[in-house]
Amino acid sequence: MANFNGSEYLAEALDSILSQSYRDFECIVVDDGSTDASPRIIQEYAAKHPEHIRPLLQRENRGQGVGFNVGVAAARGALVAFVDSDDLWMPHKLERVQEMAERHPDAAFYCHNLFLHMNGAPTERRFRELMAGGDVFGHVKRTGWFPLFVPTSGLVFRKDVLDKVLPIPDAFRTCADGYLTRTSMLYGRVEVTDECWGYYRKHDGNQVFGNAGHNAMRQRYTMLLPALNAYYARQKIDFRFPIPAPWELLYLIHEQRIQRLKSRFSPRRIVRKLLS
């Protein structure tokens, strides 16, 4: 768990982890320089549950990607399950994950669906209607399709696979799971289940889901895809995600609302200004 100023929901998230029916786990909580009550809450839980809670309190806020890097480096288990500090796990989540991993030990990572937690209450609405699984990277190479996965709290990775793809670049202050899934998929099948073993909490403070200030197209084309292509190049993988030309990109990240753009400035300056 990488947490930053998540004190409002942090205790409930930690309680859901501690309630697991599968008991052979460690919960590494990386606090990313929080200025709210998070460090105190984490330390209190660690004091009460030293056999399960391992606190790593960072002085400086450096973003989710760095938090994941720090946490995974400290992890001692063969599997690494991620959870956001505002989400919830069902009590049987780790038990089901262990069963899935025993059936499919060669998978690169495992995904389960999540129910949405909305307006302060759990619902039976699923986060994903369609789950990507199997030889995902093989399909991507054949078609150029950009795969979508469940968010952080529904993802579990083999530790040896994470060791091949880390570190996540520092630029991923949010959406670091997007880098992990689309690099890890190079190293094996993706095993999925549509069963929901946790809850994704929707609230006013969400960084991505339902956040009008988050531009998914901007994040994908200006940060995620270049980072993925750089990783594929380092691994000598003969595949690159296509990145649109500047004018096409401008059209995409503004959700096709631009019909015409006239200016006395050069096109290069316009694109650079609007992408900044």
Closest by Cα among 180, 185, 175, 184 to 223: 175
Q: Domain-by-domain residue ranges, the chain? A: 2-211, 246-275
**pLDDT the model gives residue 258:** 45
pLDDT value for 51: 97
At 8 the three-state DSSP class reads helix
pLDDT digits (tens, 9 = 90+) for 254-270: 554 444 444 444 555 54
The dihedral through the CA atoms of 55, 57, 61, 67 has a sign that is negative
Determine the Cα–Cα distance for residues 101 and 79; give it in Å rounded to an integer: 9
> Mean of the pLDDT values across residues 39-54?
98
pLDDT average, residue stretch 144-150 = 94
Give one DSSP letter per residue of 211-275, joined into a string.
-TT--HHHHIIIIIHHHHHHHHHHTT-S-------HHHHHHHHTTT-------SS-HHHHHHHHH
pLDDT of residue 190: 98
- Name which residue leads in pLDDT, 271 or 76: 76
> Which residues are paired to 30 by β-bridges?
2, 56
Predicted TM-score (pTM) of the model is 0.86
**So what's the pLDDT on residue 218?**
82
Confidence of residue 109 (pLDDT cuts 50, 70, 90): very high
Res. 24: pLDDT tops 60: yes
Residue 215 pLDDT > 80: no
Matching CATH number, 2-211, of 3.30.930.10, 3.40.30.10, 3.90.550.10, 3.90.420.10: 3.90.550.10
Condensed to tens digits (0 to 9), the pLDDT of residues 169-203 reads: 999 999 999 999 999 999 999 999 999 999 999 96
- pLDDT confidence band for 275 (50 / 70 / 90): low
User: pLDDT class for 244, splitting at 50, 70, 90?
Assistant: confident
d(Cα 51, Cα 156) in Å, to the nearest integer? 21
> Average pLDDT, stretch 105-118?
97
Q: Is residue 213 pLDDT above 90, yes or no?
A: no
Predicted confidence (pLDDT) at residue 145 exceeds the cutoff of 50: yes
Mean pLDDT of all residues in the chain?
89
Model pLDDT, residue 219: 86
* Parallel/antiparallel/unpaired status of strands 27-32 and 2-3: parallel
pLDDT grade, residue 217 (50/70/90)? Answer: confident
Whether 46 and 14 have beta carbons less than 8 Å apart is answered as: no
